[in-house]
Amino acid sequence: MWPRVWQVACTVDHVREPGDFYEYRCGRYSVIIVRDHDGELRAFQNVCLHRGNAICEGSGSGLEELRCPYHRWAWDLSGALREVPSRKGFGTLDNNELGLITARVDTWGPLVFVNLDTHAAPLDEYLEGVPRDSEWANLHEFRCSFTTTSNVDSNWKVVADGFSETYHVQGIHPEMLASIDDMNTEQHVWDHHSVSHQRYGVASPRLRDRSDQAVWDSFVVTQGERMGPEFKTQSQALVPPEGQTIRDVIAQRIREHQLTRGIDLSGYDTDGLLRLSQYNLFPNTTVLVWGDMVNVLISRPGATPDHAELSMYLLAREPQGAPAAKPFDVALPADASLGVVIDQDLSMLKRFQRGLHQPGFTHLTLSSEECRIINMQRVLVTYVGDDADSLS
């Protein structure tokens, strides 16, 4: 499957200027993404055509060429062979036959996607209805401030499934219940991908106490910093003006906080700021879109089928004219905290993986609330078949 699907590799901010490069890895696959001297975004399989050495590692700026560090074969940033040391020893070499192996590369908003299959459908076709559904957010305005990568003790599909439903909120996120409607979620499934639209700033119908103070306390604990650094701890709920709700108050506080950063969100109503659009992109990416920020969660295969790598991107709007800056990429230790909600999600992964190994557990039992997981599994089978070993 992996060489045949579009995958989020990095953000535009990683490869914005000529000479910027980024190495994307997924399991054993490695792709070099580079901005060439003409400003075009290019991608290549990360392999020297001499003996197979990987050409690049990591990311950086100011690249003038792609040169293998082993025997120093070199290509220009368009992938054309430019130098072979001691060339006469090879006899006749045709430069046109020794260009770097290309991969497809394209962007959706601030995200850079790659596909090793050069005959694959274009990205905008692959994404189906997702770009149109997300037009309201003007994703091109977002920039990536930092990314994190951490290793987790579960299969990559377990990670992806955990960010594909909200049925689990009642179980492991009790702090969220008073500020999320976890029961009346609008969901839509295309072919490969799906989305849920979920209202925040309102209490779950599961709760008896759905007071303004309960909603306020829950929002402060789980997302208070969206309203500003002064809302890190619980406080007395602000009283809504006549004709408004506590949800409107929270949305206005978000606007006021963003205005201190030079960001005008007056064009986004309460629903635009407090309705989460959660896009599940097959096979392994969840994109959480709010009016003021975007979070991206990507799961990839780890060293064994019992392990995965989780990457998270934080993107925000920047003031008009703000200078571009490269994201700060951080590799996190196993005990690092990612916030109360994500920490709760990750705490379940190792238990999930242990449970899935039990010999008597042969089938999932899923509800309509988990329709995005059902769809992911359906599409996965179309790529790899239904043999258990092939699904690792």
| pLDDT of the chain, 392 residues: tens digit per residue | 999 999 999 999 999 999 999 999 999 999 999 999 999 999 999 999 999 999 999 999 999 999 999 999 999 999 999 999 999 899 899 999 999 999 999 999 999 999 999 999 999 999 999 999 999 999 999 999 999 999 999 999 999 999 998 888 888 898 999 999 988 889 999 999 999 999 999 999 999 999 999 999 999 999 999 999 999 887 888 888 999 999 999 999 999 999 999 999 999 999 999 999 999 999 999 999 999 999 999 999 999 999 999 999 999 999 888 888 899 999 998 888 888 888 888 888 889 899 999 999 998 889 898 899 999 999 999 998 866 555 55
Q: Compute the distance between CA of residue 103 and CA of residue 46 in angstroms, rounded to an integer.
A: 10
- Give a yes or no: residue 384 inside a domain: no
H-helix or E-strand spanning residue 26: strand 21-26
Going by C-alpha positions, the residue among 294, 231, 295 that lies closest to residue 260 is 231
- Give a yes or no: residue 358 inside a domain: no
Q: Compute the distance between CA of residue 29 and CA of residue 10 in angstroms, rounded to an integer.
A: 15
Residue 359, exposed/middle/buried by CB under 10 A (0-12, 13-18, 19+)?
A: exposed
- Give a yes or no: residue 376 inside a domain: no
Q: Compute the distance between CA of residue 52 and CA of residue 330 in angstroms, rounded to an integer.
A: 29
Q: Compute the distance between CA of residue 153 and CA of residue 301 in angstroms, rounded to an integer.
A: 11
- Give a yes or no: residue 382 inside a domain: no
Q: Which residue has the tokens 């950063």?
A: 261
Shared-domain flag, residues 170 and 30: no
CATH code, domain carrying 119:
2.102.10.10
Shared-domain flag, residues 77 and 181: no
**Chain-centre distance for alpha carbon 1:** 19
- Give a yes or no: residue 369 inside a domain: no
- Please name the amino acid found at residue 219: F
Annotate 59-116 with three-state secondary structure: EECCCCCEECCCCCCEECCCCCEEECCCHHHHCCCCHHHCCCCECEEEEECCEEEEEC
Question: 161-182: per-residue pLDDT in tens?
Answer: 999 988 888 888 989 999 999 8
Residue 295 has phi, psi (to 5 degrees) of: -120, 135
**Chain-centre distance for alpha carbon 70:** 34
Shared-domain flag, residues 189 and 327: yes
- Please name the amino acid found at residue 308: A
Could you say which of 66, 90, 125 is where a domain stops? Answer: 125
Shared-domain flag, residues 33 and 133: no
Q: Compute the distance between CA of residue 372 and CA of residue 196 in angstroms, rounded to an integer.
A: 9
Dihedral sign computed on CA atoms, order 228, 233, 235, 241: positive
Going by C-alpha positions, the residue among 347, 363, 294, 328 that lies closest to residue 110 is 294
Using an 8 Å Cβ cutoff, are 99 and 80 in contact? yes
Shared-domain flag, residues 270 and 189: yes
Helix 340-347 with 349-356: angle, nearest 10 deg: 20
Shared-domain flag, residues 120 and 132: no
Using an 8 Å Cβ cutoff, are 221 and 227 in contact? no
Shared-domain flag, residues 29 and 102: yes
Q: Which residue has the tokens 């994500």?
A: 342
> In b/e form, how buried is each residue of 297-322, taking b as 16+ CB within 10 angstroms?
bbbbbbeeebbbbbbbbbbbbbeeee
- Give a yes or no: residue 377 inside a domain: no
What's the total number of domains in the chain?
2
Sheet holding 74-75, edge to edge: 66-67, 74-75, 81-83
- Give a yes or no: residue 267 inside a domain: yes
Question: 64-118: per-residue pLDDT in tens?
Answer: 999 999 999 999 999 999 999 999 899 899 999 999 999 999 999 999 999 999 9
Those residues whose C-beta lies under 8 Å from the C-beta of residue 9, and which sit 6 or more positions away, are 22, 24, 31, 33, 43, 105, 112, 113, 114
pTM, two decimals, is 0.93
Range of the domain at 269: 128-348
- Give a yes or no: residue 361 inside a domain: no
